[in-house]
Amino acid sequence: MDAIVKNFPVLEDVSGRPTQREAEEAVRVLLRWAGDDPTREGLKDTPARVAKSYRELFGGYDLVPEDVLGTTFEEVAGYDDMVLVKDIQFFSHCEHHMVPIIGKAHIAYMPNGRVLGLSKIARVVDIYARRLQTQETMTAQIAKAIDETLAPRGVAVMIEAEHMCMAMRGVQKQGSTTLTTTFTGSFQTEPAEQARFMTMLRGFK
């Protein structure tokens, strides 16, 4: 695997979680930090809602890719060419500002006798998207998870995303897209396979 994975180890568990009560109190503090009054009628239930919503938006911390990548099929009539699932939409949050990253993942692999249930590829994207992320980390983590669980001949992951921390605040550049890729196995060693991945991705829009 490439250097990025070594630099960004996979985070599978977060221990020492605060209680729901503590989480709600933290939201009240942030509401006051924003300049509002957490005791006013409209914000009364907001801390509880935010705490609940965090469990969903960051639900990826409770999941491991091995659990969803278990469904594989061997009876595919000898099919051994590229499988590409493209335009998998996701919402994540950047680890620097905790604001949304909105994007699409394109994932291909070269089977080695077994193919994955297609929905499982999208589930792996969600496991990593529903954590605090950088786009580079997420790209490498998805490739690593599929590579290690399925042991295919190669994996290619491309992510294209817009970072709201660059659009809504800070430098305030709307509409820019960041592209990241990770290639393993034959996608890394054979430029022709990488090129075919790009052609399949871009050729049939």
CB 193 within 8 A of CB 155: no
Number of neighbouring beta carbons within 10 Å of residue 135: 18
Question: Which residue is nearest to ligand GTP, using beta carbons?
Answer: 170
Contact status, residue 115 vs residue 79, Cβ threshold 8 Å: yes
CA distance linking residue 22 with residue 13, whole number of Å: 20
160 lies in the binding site for ligand GTP (CB under 6 A): no
- The site partner of 82 among Zn ion, ligand GTP, none (C-beta below 5 to 8 Å per kind) is none
Contact 73, 115 (CB under 8 A): yes
- 47-55, 73-81, 144-152, 165-173 -> range binding ligand GTP (CB under 6 A): 165-173
Residue 201 interacts, among Zn ion, ligand GTP, none and using kind-specific CB cut-offs from 5 to 8 Å, with none
Ramachandran quadrant class, 89 (left: phi over 0; alpha: psi -120 to 50; beta: rest) = beta
Q: Which residue type does 76 have?
A: V
Reported residue count of the chain is: 205
Member of 163, 164, 182, 196 binding ligand GTP (CB under 6 A): 163
Determine, following the binding rule CB under 6 A, whether residue 165 of this chain makes contact with ligand GTP: yes
Positions marked active-site: 94-97, 135, 163, 165
Is 94 among the annotated ligand-binding positions? yes
Residue 173 binds ligand GTP, judged by CB under 6 A: no
- Whole-angstrom Cα distance, residue 166 to residue 173? 6
Q: Which is nearer to ligand GTP, 134 or 188 (CB)?
A: 134
Residue 34 interacts with ligand GTP (CB under 6 A): yes or no: no
Q: Among residues 44, 55, 96, 173, which is the contact residue for ligand GTP, using CB under 6 A?
A: 96
> Residues comprising the binding site for Zn(2+)?
94, 97, 165
